[in-house]
């Protein structure tokens, strides 16, 4: 596809349930980033991948959050035992690689997660 895609676009779940969010990066982009954006707040870094490896997981807020990337392409962000404070928009971005600070990150439309 032409851009970064994410699915689902909206997800409503009950507290305590697990959710999986998917990101399809731009073809050929080796770096992939996950961010969280709470209502009216700035972007909060969660994790990034260079290829299938995640050199920096320090942004994950708790051990309920995990992410994986397979085949250097699709990534899934999993939140276990969701809590109401997990409600936010989860944005994914990709770039050519993470080795240059000039590489633009292209963002997907986000997944709006609501935990009831």
Partner 1 sequence: KNQVEQSPQSLIILEGKNCTLQCNYTVSPFSNLRWYKQDTGRGPVSLTIMTFSENTKSNGRYTATLDADTKQSSLHITASQLSDSASYICVVSARDTGRRALTFGSGTRLQVQP
Residues that bind partner 1 (CB under 8 A): 4, 33, 40-43, 45, 48, 50, 55-56, 59, 91, 93, 98-102, 104-105, 107-110
Question: Smaller CB distance to partner 1: residue 52 or 56?
Answer: 56
CB of 109 to partner 1, least distance (A): 5
Token representation of residue 11? 């997800």
What backbone torsions phi and psi does residue 61 show, to the nearest 5 degrees?
A: -70, -25
Q: Which is nearer to partner 1, 55 or 61 (CB)?
A: 55
Contact, 52 vs 69, CB < 8 A? yes
Nearest distance from C-beta of residue 16 to partner 1, angstroms: 27
Residue whose token pair is 């633009």: 104
Place of tokens 């731009």: 26
Beta strands 10-13 and 111-115 are: parallel
Element (H, E) at 30: none
Closer residue to partner 1, CB minimum distance, 40 or 71: 40
d(CA 109, CA 17): 23
Minimum separation from the CB atom of position 1 to partner 1 (A): 14
Residue 8 or 99: the one with the smaller Cβ distance to partner 1 is 99
Q: How far is the CB of 91 from partner 1 (least distance, A)?
A: 6
């Amino acid at each position: 596809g032409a851009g970064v895609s994410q699915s689902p676009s909206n997800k409503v779940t009950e507290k305590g349930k697990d959710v999986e969010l998917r990101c399809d990066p731009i073809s050929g982009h080796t770096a992939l980033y996950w961010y969280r954006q709470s209502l009216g707040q700035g972007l909060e870094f969660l994790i990034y991948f260079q290829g299938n490896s995640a050199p920096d997981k320090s942004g994950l807020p708790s051990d309920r959050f995990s992410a994986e990337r397979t085949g250097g392409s699709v990534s899934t962000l999993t939140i276990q035992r969701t809590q109401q404070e997990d409600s936010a928009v989860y944005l994914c971005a990709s770039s050519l690689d993470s080795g240059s600070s000039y590489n633009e990150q292209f963002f997907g439309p986000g997944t709006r997660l609501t935990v009831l």
